[in-house]
């Protein structure tokens, strides 16, 4: 079925009937309604949805519940994003999460030059955005309530936005934009900087924010828009004296840095990799591959190139061919997160929960660290 063209007028798509929506997405209307009914029913959704828990073997990482989608549902999700949502929803200037050209680094950079900061966290961000709110937002961008209702059924699970659906981040942006507008507007009047990375909020400026009306204002605006903060996540810091980390990046002496713990862990893993390559005793059965180490060093260089010099030197001293050979001979296990199916308990690589998978001798090309 050919994709139907629809008019775009002032950030609004003229889609008045569900049949128009179906034509735009390249499916029959009856199929879209059947698909919506299937994925909304926990008893039948497994045809299109796998529900997983991501288990990371590192000590400081908590298990995360996520979903993955497949088949026609995946296609419909992608087309809704590409042909509808991305055409009409434009992220605001204060938002840095999941937006092209922005990142955790741009989020932290926004606060360079300031002296004090206030950081808080929106509780249960995606689950707190219910289907009725999604439908209301969608109705602003399409031509009728019927179309908005069908779309809402195709972009929510269990009556709310879900982590793992490609449409969730951009719809969350649309829902929270009034919050961003009000908070950023108030901050500008007071000479403050406001940024948000998905559910992480940070406000910084030249005076102690804990002694101002800002925290109370933020809570009030969020509550009036159906959100709540996590009071235990509130932090008030001096950027000149306190250790402050924002979305995994530290701001120290007006510069961005990777946390020292991350550097120390990486140094330890490089030394372990060298011990493996040299045939020395290795006390653990889990290890990082060359590709994983490269990615972590590149992250450090991206944030602060000066912190990477010692890492690059250690990396270049390792005979990575011997490292891979020794790892295979010893039966060492690649240290990486595992996906555990919540319904069956099976791990994505076929092992039972709690067991590990031997390293596969598959070569991959990666960028070298120079």
Q: Which of 200-204, 240-244, 288-292 has the lowest mean pLDDT?
A: 240-244
Task: Report the alpha-carbon distance of residue 200 to residue 107 in Å, rounded.
Answer: 10
The angle at the Cα of 336, spanning 331 to 338, to the nearest 5 degrees, equals 105
User: Contact, 114 vs 206, CB < 8 A?
Assistant: yes
Task: Report the alpha-carbon distance of residue 311 to residue 264 in Å, rounded.
Answer: 10
Q: Which letter does DSSP use for residue 194 in this model?
A: E
Residue listed under structure tokens 């298990």: 63
The angle at the Cα of 337, spanning 333 to 341, to the nearest 5 degrees, equals 110
The pLDDT value given to residue 81 = 96
Dihedral angle, C-alpha 120, 124, 126, 127, nearest 10 °? -160
The pLDDT value given to residue 233 = 83
Q: How far is C-alpha 81 from the chain's CA centre?
A: 17
- Angle between helices 145-155 and 71-80 in degrees, nearest 10: 130
Residue listed under structure tokens 């996520």: 66
Residue listed under structure tokens 């609004």: 12
What are the tens digits of pLDDT across the range 57-84? 665 667 777 789 999 999 999 999 999 9
What are the tens digits of pLDDT across the range 128-177? 999 999 999 999 999 899 999 999 999 999 999 998 899 999 999 999 99
Q: Is the confidence at residue 348, as pLDDT, over 90?
A: no
The pLDDT value given to residue 217 = 96
For residue 16, give the 3-state DSSP assignment. Answer: coil
Q: Is the confidence at residue 365, as pLDDT, over 90?
A: no
User: Contact, 155 vs 165, CB < 8 A?
Assistant: yes
Count of beta carbons in the 10 Å neighbourhood of residue 365: 6
The backbone torsions φ and ψ at residue 344, rounded to the nearest 5 degrees and listed phi first, read -110, -20
The pLDDT value given to residue 52 = 79
Indicate the pLDDT class of residue 356, thresholds 50, 70 and 90.
very low
Q: How far is C-alpha 177 from the chain's CA centre?
A: 18
Task: Report the alpha-carbon distance of residue 48 to residue 34 in Å, rounded.
Answer: 12
User: Contact, 146 vs 18, CB < 8 A?
Assistant: yes
What are the tens digits of pLDDT across the range 181-201? 999 999 999 999 999 999 999
Which residue in 241, 239, 194, 248 sits closest to 218, CA to CA?
A: 194
Indicate the pLDDT class of residue 24, thresholds 50, 70 and 90.
very high
Task: Report the alpha-carbon distance of residue 118 to residue 219 in Å, rounded.
Answer: 12
Which residue in 269, 263, 257, 289 sits closest to 358, CA to CA?
A: 289
What are the tens digits of pLDDT across the range 26-57? 999 999 999 999 999 999 999 999 887 777 66
The pLDDT value given to residue 60 = 62
Q: Which two tokens stand for residue 8?
A: 């775009």
How is the beta sheet containing 338-341 ordered, strand by strand? 64-69, 49-55, 338-341
Task: Report the run of H or E that residue 65 belongs to, with start and end.
Answer: strand 64-69
The pLDDT value given to residue 332 = 79
Average pLDDT, the chain: 87
């Amino acid at each position: 079925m050919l994709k139907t063209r629809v008019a775009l007028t002032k950030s609004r798509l003229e889609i008045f009937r569900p049949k128009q929506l179906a034509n735009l997405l390249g499916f029959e209307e009856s199929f879209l309604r059947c698909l919506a009914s299937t994925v909304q029913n926990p008893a039948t959704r497994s045809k299109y949805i796998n529900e997983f828990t991501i288990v990371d073997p590192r000590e400081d990482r908590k298990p995360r519940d996520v979903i993955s989608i497949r088949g026609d549902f995946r296609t419909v999700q992608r087309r809704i994003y590409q042909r509808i949502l991305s055409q009409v929803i434009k992220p605001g200037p204060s938002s840095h999460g999941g937006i092209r050209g922005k990142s955790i680094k741009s989020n932290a950079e926004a606060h360079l030059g300031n002296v004090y900061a206030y950081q808080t966290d929106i509780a249960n961000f995606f689950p707190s955005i219910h289907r009725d709110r999604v439908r209301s937002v969608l109705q602003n961008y399409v031509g009728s309530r019927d179309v908005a209702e069908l779309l809402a059924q195709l972009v929510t699970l269990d009556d709310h936005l879900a982590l793992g659906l490609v449409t969730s981040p951009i719809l969350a942006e649309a829902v929270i934009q009034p919050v961003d507008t009000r908070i950023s507007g108030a901050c500008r009047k007071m000479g403050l900087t406001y940024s948000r990375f998905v559910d992480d909020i940070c406000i910084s400026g030249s005076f102690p924010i804990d002694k101002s009306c800002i925290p109370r204002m933020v809570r009030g605006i969020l509550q009036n828009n159906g959100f709540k903060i996590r009071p235990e996540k509130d932090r008030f810091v001096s950027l000149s004296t306190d250790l402050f980390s924002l979305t995994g990046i530290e701001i120290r002496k007006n510069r961005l840095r990777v946390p020292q713990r991350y550097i120390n862990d990486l140094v330890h893993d490089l030394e372990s990799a060298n011990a493996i390559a040299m045939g020395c005793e290795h006390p653990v059965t889990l290890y990082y591959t060359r590709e994983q180490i490269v990615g972590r060093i590149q992250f450090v260089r991206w944030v602060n190139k000066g912190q990477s010099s010692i890492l690059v030197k250690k990396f270049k001293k390792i005979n990575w061919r011997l490292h891979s050979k020794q790892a295979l001979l010893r039966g060492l296990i690649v240290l990486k997160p595992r996906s555990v199916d919540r319904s069956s308990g099976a791990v994505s690589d076929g092992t039972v929960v709690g067991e590990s998978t031997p390293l596969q001798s598959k070569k991959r090309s990666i960028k070298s660290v120079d």
